[in-house]
Amino acid sequence: MESMDAEAYALEYMIRDRLRNAEARARVAALLAEAKPSQGPNAIKTQFTDLGRHLVDGVRRVVSELFHTLTGRMPRVKEDAR
């Protein structure tokens, strides 16, 4: 019975991985389809760069909040935000 559970888990993991890959390919295809011919490849790079920057900023903010919550320290405030 355990081997069937392990096989089912492995199969489920493979299916989820393939679905994630298919979703990523679909997002790239949608971005390519939305791009105007006059924009060229740089517009798509800019969109990916903006998306990546947004994701990294979100992760950085969450990690910082977790760190400060777990250590009991107050987060630093940027000079320009004061």
- Whether residue 80 is predicted with pLDDT greater than 60 in this model: the reply is no
| Rounded-to-10 torsion of CA 54, 55, 60, 62 | 110
Helices (H), the chain: 2-34, 40-71
- Whether residue 82 is predicted with pLDDT greater than 60 in this model: the reply is no
Contact 28, 44 (CB under 8 A): no
- Provide the whole-model pTM: 0.41
Burial class of residue 61 (count of CB atoms within 10 Å of its CB; 0-12, 13-18, 19+) = exposed
- Spatial distance between the Cα atoms of 47 and 58, rounded to a whole number of angstroms: 17
Per-residue pLDDT tens digits for 16-75: 989 999 998 898 888 777 766 666 666 677 778 888 888 898 899 888 888 878 787 766
Query: Which residue do the tokens 């979100």 mark?
Result: 58
Domain limits of the chain? Answer: 1-34, 37-82
